[in-house]
Amino acid sequence: MAIPLYPEILVAISLCFLFLCHLRWNKSRTITNWPVVGMLPGLLQNASNVHEYVTWLLKQNGGTFKFKGPWFTNMTFMVTSDPMNINHMLSKNFSNYTKGQKFQEIFDVLGDGIFNSDSDSWTYQRKLLHTMLKDNKFKLFFEQFVKGKVEKSLVPVLDHISSFGIEVDLQDIFQRFTFDSACLVVLGFDPNCLSIEFPDVSYAKSFDQLEECLLYRHIVPERWWKLQRRLQIGSEKKLSHAWKVFDEFVYECISTKREEVTLKKEELKFNLLTAIVMEEQEGEMSTTITKSDKFLRDTATNLLAAGRDSISAGLTWLFWLLATHPSVEAKILEEIKEHLLDNGKSKDLNIDKLSKLVYLHGAVCESLRLFPPIPFEHKCSVQPDILPSGHSMRPNTTILYSLYSMGRMESIWGEDCLDFKPERWITEFGGIVHVPSFKFIAFNAGARTCLGKDIAFIQMKIIATAIIWKYHVRVVEDHPVSPSISVVLHMKHGLKVRISKRYA
């Protein structure tokens, strides 16, 4: 067993030596292809601001470049922010760019769920979820559910915080809210993470640990993290523990749901897990795989990840931008008064009324453009290909496209690309500007466009409207704000704020 590991030990020793040299002698933002260790030292040196570093490299290289990793590690891949390349991969030549084995190994915690699957498995799951999530009845159910959760959980907590004038991490509040919401919609179970007591819920915390460990797998050689996994040390030991805690929770929910559906002790309330189990028991499922607890576990995990992390991250960045751009907040307030108030009283909020909040919609889109919840995505080429940028792709080549970088490209958004301007999403006639999904990539594009896009906008607008109308949010002075180094673009230090009621 010692012989296969020898190259990894050699690379590790060389990497440590050259990395220390790099830190000592090279402080500039450059990308050097070193002997033996390739470009990895530059990446590690800039790991704390990796998204900005990759953005800078992409700008210096015309939007696409090849990253060369250490020898023996199979860590060479293409990186792009070119919309034409992305349109090519996600739409025009979709069949040639799959998730690939490497993606599935890195994100093994997602199992065979929709985010991790290709071919027939992906097609089946997408069809199944499309039928449920795109149904108008589900959208109406989801709208009423979110409004109820805001009134029963979010508002009481914010009232409590404002009455005592204490500092609070708004990111933590949003993560608790969206985890509760996702669990209710997917599993039919409310963990009550968001309450005045701010309970410490182990299986909710395990989500954060999983994300941190999964990013680690992106920035070290594959054999290195696999060795750690085999020996159960370091980051992989933490991942295994978090995975176990989360799986125990999900499988317990599955067992309870199967019992409820079988015995039918009471009228079942709607949730996605119940709907899938009922289809399974009624003979609608097509294979034995989809009838297994493993399929339910993978499906639930993927949906929980989408429902919790993307929405909470999106809301956190939105409220930071609003707090630092009071003129935008003022315009949204005026829009709320115009469309949601009648003689000083609030109207019943619904999807139709939400659609009239055009400026709020622009602010949400602008926030997602600058701070996409998923900052980068993977693809893997199946056959040889040439990208529109002229770069050649060999079979089994990994390509990363940076959603974060795309929002910061003058070639895509103009010279004011770094500015927060909801107006860029509004036509001169007051309508919403349509931007091709391969440019505004927050919800992916092509055949893999996010199925939850509509309900994500519904949830974000309902929450944003409730908070903006009722409360004034101020970021604590000198609070550091920067993206976390994670597969989800959370804030590294949270978002410390003070909240006061807008109207006494």
Domain boundaries of the chain, sorted by first residue: 76-501
The two three-digit tokens of residue 224, written as one number: 């290195």
- The C-alpha R_g of the chain, in whole angstroms, comes to 23
Which residue from 388, 333, 377 is spatially nearest to 502, judged by alpha carbons?
A: 333
> Of 367, 362, 368, 324, which Cα lies nearest the Cα of 474?
324
pLDDT tens-digit profile of 182-212? 999 999 889 999 999 999 999 888 988 888 8
Helix (H, G, I), strand (E, B) or coil at 67: strand
Asked whether the predicted pLDDT for residue 16 surpasses 70, the reply is no
CA atoms within 13 A on the CB side of 133: 20
**Number of Cβ within a 10 Å radius of residue 323:** 17
Q: Is the pLDDT of residue 493 over 70?
A: yes
Given a contact cutoff of 8 angstroms between Cβ atoms, the answer to whether 43 and 219 are in contact is yes
Locate the DSSP E strands across 324-439. 341-342, 345-346, 376-381, 385-386, 392-393, 398-402
Per DSSP, the three-state class of 169 is: strand
Query: Is 21 assigned a ligand-binding role in the annotation?
Result: no
For residue 480, which of 349, 320, 311, 360 has the smallest C-alpha distance? Answer: 320
Closest to 321 (Cα-Cα) out of 411, 414, 421: 421
pLDDT reading at 23 higher than 50: no
Tell which residue, 488, 487, 484, has the closest CA to residue 49.
484
Q: Any residues with CB less than 8 A from the CB of 261 and at least 6 apart, and which?
A: 268, 274, 277, 278, 281
Which is more confidently placed, 397 or 132?
397
Q: Tell me: pLDDT of 410 over 80.
A: yes
Domain 76-501: give its CATH superfamily.
Cytochrome P450 (1.10.630.10)
For residues 169 and 493, what is the distance between their CA atoms, to the nearest angstrom?
Answer: 9
> pLDDT, tens digit, for every residue of 244-300?
999 999 999 999 888 888 776 566 677 888 888 888 777 656 555 557 899 999 999
- SS3 breakdown of the chain: % helix, strand, coil, rounded to 5? 60, 10, 30
How does DSSP classify residue 348? P
Q: Could you give the CA distance from residue 114 to residue 110 in angstroms, rounded to a whole number?
A: 9
3-state secondary structure of 378: strand
Question: Which helix (H) or strand (E) element contains residue 498?
Answer: strand 496-501
Are 58 and 82 in contact by the 8 Å Cβ rule? The answer is no
pLDDT(22) > 50: no
Which residue carries 């176990």 as its tokens?
A: 244
Mean pLDDT of 420-428: 96
Task: Name the residue with higher pLDDT: 307 or 291.
Answer: 307
- Is the backbone of residue 485 left (phi > 0), alpha (psi -120 to 50) or beta? beta
What pTM value is reported for the model?
0.88
Return d(Cα 128, Cα 411) in angstroms, integer.
38
Query: Hey, what are 259's tokens?
Result: 């019992």
Average model confidence (pLDDT) across the chain: 87
CA proximity to 210, closest of 177, 176, 265, 247: 247
Higher pLDDT, 80 or 34: 80
Whether 112 and 433 have beta carbons less than 8 Å apart is answered as no
Residue 5 has a pLDDT of 37
* Overall average pLDDT of the 60-66 stretch: 94
One-letter amino acid at 323 equals A
E runs forming strands in 254-311: none
| CA distance readout (Å), 104 to 92, 301, 350 | 23, 14, 39
Q: What percent of the chain has pLDDT over 90?
A: 60
